[in-house]
Each structure stands twice: as structure tokens, then as C-alpha cells.
Amino acid sequence: MKRDDALFNWIQIQVVADARPDDRSAQDTASFFLELLREDHQMTGLGYRIEGAWYIVFGQVASAEWEGRFPAELVEALLHAIESEPKYNQ
């Protein structure tokens, strides 16, 4: 998987996992993508912050600082879809 795709998948599911700490599937999926980024792309220290309409993802790649950004609307789309589905909110 390309690094940008893995990063987007990770930030999207990490936002879900953070909003739904009891959602075991979200926690496991976020862990899967984090491990993929570590093993396949040598990324460590990953985190994120929100700046306006952007999610800023940061960490290290091969010991060098790295930062990227993703539109908040796209990042939060999965969370909104899950929260609007009644069977996931019982």
C-alpha cells in the first residue's frame, strides 16, 4: 500500500477510534494501519492535530521529521457515516 493511502486510512480510522474508545473494531483497525506504517514505511512517532479545516499528521520517517495534511471533511467522513448508522450506535 502506498504511504499516502496508508496515512489517510490511519488518520481516518484513528479519528473514529479516538471518538469511540469502546469500539474494538476501530481500535484494532487503527493499530493495524499504525503497524503497517511502521513496518512498510519506517514511520514512527505518528500523531495528529487539527488546524482549521485540516488534520495535520506528523511523525518521523527514517529519523527525519515529517508532516502532512488531509482535509478535515474527508478525514471525518468515516466517523460521520458510522455515527449516522443506527446499528453501530446501540
Q: What is the mean pLDDT of each run of 10 residues along the chain (90 residues)?
A: 96 97 96 97 96 97 93 97 78
* Positive or negative: CA dihedral 38, 41, 42, 45: negative
What count of other Cβ atoms lies within 10 Å of the Cβ of residue 43? Answer: 21
Positions of E strands within 2-78: 43-51, 54-61, 64-71
pTM value?
Answer: 0.91
Residue that has been written with the C-alpha cell 527514517 in this structure: 62
Collapsing DSSP states into helix, strand and coil, what is residue 23? Answer: coil
